[in-house]
Amino acid sequence: MSRIRTKNQEKIIEVASQLFAEKGYAATTTAEIAQRAEIPKPNLYYYFNTKDNLYRAVLESVTQPLLEASYPIEQLNDPRDALTQYIRTKLRISKEYAAASKTFAAEVMAGAPHLPSDIAESLMDQSRMILNKFEYWIEQGWMEPVPPKHLMFMLWSSTQTYADFNWQICQVSGQFELEDQDFEDAAEFLVNLVLRGCGVKHAD
């Protein structure tokens, strides 16, 4: 794929992410996306063919990083290192893919009517893996016997809220937008909260 093509696709996905986050799937038109991206409408269809294909690309732009975020949990044996990396990566995704994260959250809240089945299945596979790993750590005595599902839900919500509800966070914080230090402070707090609150130990 040429550099120009990749750059144009990334620009369209970024603009589409913002509009889908602001207006939702149904209310967003390809004409609006093309206008805000400052490209002719036929160019949008050249790269993505249909609105559905573009919406899928927006969802993939955040779900793929979210799937990759759990690699430390899957691949590392030490739970403290794995959870630390997972939390930090999830917060980085909230910072770098805020609009796409909001679009994904809105899709899920609506019952996922447009979420492609392969993405949904990959996310389910990831959830099963995380739960199995938490249960293994508990069995090994490396973590207190906390409810694995609720720990996973808490990790999702506490990290993704910095993207999905950043307006509210900024209002409370008296800021125009979240800065790098805000995400670093959140990471330090959440890592300490989870490791201490769940009694997470280093692997033997």
Secondary structure (H, E, C), the chain: CCHHHHHHHHHHHHHHHHHHHHHCCCCCCHHHHHHHHCCCHHHHHHHHCCHHHHHHHHHHHHHHHHHHHCHHHHHCCCHHHHHHHHHHHHHHHHHHCHHHHHHHHHHHHCCCCCCCHHHHHHHHHHHHHHHHHHHHHHHCCCCCCCCHHHHHHHHHHHHHHHHHCHHHHHHHHCCCCCCHHHHHHHHHHHHHHHHHHCCCCCCC
pLDDT of 1 above 80: no
CATH number, position 72: 1.10.357.10
What pTM was estimated for this model as a whole?
Answer: 0.93
Range of the domain at 141: 59-198
Residue 161 in domain: yes
Task: Give the pLDDT confidence of 52-108 residue by residue, as tens digits.
Answer: 999 999 999 999 999 999 999 999 999 999 999 999 999 999 999 999 999 999 999
Asked whether residue 13 is domain-assigned, the answer is: no
Tally of domains within the chain:
1
105-128 confidence digits (pLDDT tens): 999 999 999 999 999 999 999 999
